[in-house]
Structure 1
Amino acid sequence: MNLESPKVTLNKSPQEAFDFLSEVKNFEKLMPENISKFEVLDNDKFLFALKGMPEIVLKKKEAIAPNRIVLGAAGGKLDFSLTGNIIETSANTSDVQLTFDGEFNAMMAMMIKGPISKFIETLVTNMKTAI
């Protein structure tokens, strides 16, 4: 299953956006209002939970400055990745888009597609004010 967030334009250089997303503690500022738990576990790993959902641990898997950062599931039953793609549009602006990739059976994909789409859209929308 592949899902893409809308692109958002930030009044920040690609490097500034990349630096923000490279610090896993900053993801707390991007989370939706219905977050029930957020905990930094390591320099490159954090745990979060949304109300009514299981806890998810994400770990930074890849960082290619200043254009790409990849977070992946760290343990648990689901294997997926969340990729931040950063594209320079001018010296001090950049477009950011999040993509979610995961392998799920048809039933699971049907159940999680809506909530995950809304989640990544919220993350990218909150970047406008958080970065």
Structure 2
Amino acid sequence: MNLESPKVNVNKSPEEVFDFLTNVKNFESLMPENISKFEIISEDTFLFALKGMPEITLKRKEEVPPNKIVLGAAGGKIDFSLTGTINEIDAQTSEVQLKFNGDFNPMMAMMIKGPITKFIETLATSIPKAI
């Protein structure tokens, strides 16, 4: 299952956006209002839970400064990744898009497609306000 957030413009350079997204502590400021738990596990790993959903642990898996950061599931039964792509529009403006990629059975995919789509849209649209 592949899902994409809308592309959002951020009035910051790609380097500033990249630095913000590589600090896992900053993801707390991007979370939706229905977050019930957020916990830093290490400098590259955090855990969060949304009301009515199981806890999810994300770990920074790959970085390509200043254009790409990949977070992936850290343990658990579900394997997925969340990739942030940062493109320079000009020296002080960036375009950011989040992509979710996961391998789920059709029933699970049907159940989580809506909530995951809304979640990555919330994360993406929160980036310009949070930086």
TM-score range, shorter chain: over 0.9
**Are 2:102 and 1:85 aligned?**
no
**Are 2:77 and 1:60 aligned?**
no
Alpha-carbon offset, residue 14 of structure 1: 0.2
- Please, what TM-score do these two structures have when normalized by structure 2? 1.00
- How does 1:32-71 map onto structure 2 within 5 Å? 32-71=32-71
For the residue of structure 2 that corresponds to 1:75, the secondary structure is coil
- The runs of 4+ residues in structure 1 deviating greater than 3 Å are none
CA offsets per residue over residues 60-83 of structure 1, 9 Å max, x none? 000110000000000011000000
1:125 is matched by which residue type in structure 2? Answer: T
Alpha-carbon offset, residue 128 of structure 1: 1.3
Percentage of matched positions with identical amino acids:
73
Alignment length, in residue pairs? 131
Q: Which residue of 2 aligns with 1:24?
A: 24
Q: CA RMSD in A?
A: 0.3
Q: Which residue of 2 aligns with 1:113?
A: 113
Partners of 2:116 and 2:67 lie apart in 1 by 23
Q: Which residue of 2 aligns with 1:9?
A: 9
1:48 is matched by which residue type in structure 2? Answer: F
1:53 is matched by which residue type in structure 2? Answer: M
Partners of 1:50 and 1:128 lie apart in 2 by 22
Structure 1 gap ranges (5+): none
Structure 2 gap ranges (5+): none
1:65 is matched by which residue type in structure 2? Answer: P
1:120 is matched by which residue type in structure 2? Answer: I
- Please, what TM-score do these two structures have when normalized by structure 1? 1.00
Partners of 1:102 and 1:54 lie apart in 2 by 16
Partners of 1:15 and 1:2 lie apart in 2 by 26
Partners of 1:128 and 1:20 lie apart in 2 by 11
